[in-house]
Amino acid sequence: MSLFGFLKKQKAGPPGSAPLVWFELQVTPATFRFAFTPDQPLVIGYAGEAGQKAVSKLIAPAEFGELYERTLRQVDALLKKHEVLYLPLTQAEQAFAPEAVKTPGVHVRFAYADDLSWASAYPRDKLPSEVAGLLADTRALARQVMQQVSPGSSIADAERINPRAETARIKVARSGAIFANEREIQPGDLNAFLDELKARGGEIAYSREAPDEEPTESTTKSIQLLIEAVMERKLPIRLEVPPEELL
């Protein structure tokens, strides 16, 4: 099926009773993949990091029939739970394009037996909350499947599907601008960034520019926006104090 076969031709509604026949979710470049296509094995892949070998599992329908079918139904349920079909298409032509998968991003595409289909690609720091939720739940599902396929040997590999917590160093500037790891995040993109951070099991190291000065009105508004969003997601947060302030 061509890429354009995945594009919605009209407003999408609930998938209904048609079975899900195609699903691909990939965090690029080559970080995490969960995919199945008609009559082909379910593929779970996670890139090797820090000298570790990459993880790759194939769950064939003939060998793992019940698990395979149950997993397809669970993915269908996740798509409905997060209402991904209601999202507008975003860079659909870039979803799984050869050059696009070489840059950091999240790619999703899926199709049902009644030809209802959808595809989009997103930068990692601009995920809609629906896609961030789908990614988190798909990673959790991948971990469960891997443990069922090889319970004695896959636990360590499966745990890598949900990487260890990473720290996002977030600073609020005098101007009120919010920076994460030295990259400015617009207020409208903050929730998606935090959703993806939560999906990865991350935490926040918070700081403010010129902490010894009275915050400006813009700074105060940004701090309130940030703290409310962090508390809503119950993300771990700690105060990061510059070394010079400890002297």
**pLDDT per position as a tens digit, 79-131:** 999 999 889 999 999 999 989 988 889 999 999 998 889 999 999 888 898 99
Confidence of residue 14 (pLDDT cuts 50, 70, 90): low
pLDDT of residue 54: 65
| pLDDT above 90 (res 70) | yes
For residue 223, give the amino acid letter.
Answer: I
Q: Which residue bears the tokens 């060998």?
A: 63
Whole-model pTM?
A: 0.61
Is the separation of the CB atoms in 26 and 113 below 8 Å? no
Confidence of residue 24 (pLDDT cuts 50, 70, 90): very high
From 100, 104, 106, select the one nearest 122 (Cα to Cα). Answer: 106
Q: What structural domains does the chain harbor? A: 3-159 (no CATH), 167-246 (3.30.420)
| pLDDT above 90 (res 22) | yes
Q: What is the pLDDT of the chain when averaged over all its residues?
A: 80
| CA 139 from centre of chain | 9
Distance from C-alpha of 89 to C-alpha of 22, rounded to nearest angstrom? 17
Identify which has the larger pLDDT, 172 or 49: 172
pLDDT of residue 198: 81
Mean pLDDT calculated for residue range 14-22: 74
Q: How far is CA 3 from CA 42, 111, 146, 149, 164, in A?
A: 20, 11, 29, 31, 34
Read off the pLDDT of residues 41-61 as tens digits, 9 standing for 90 and up.
Answer: 999 988 754 445 567 788 888
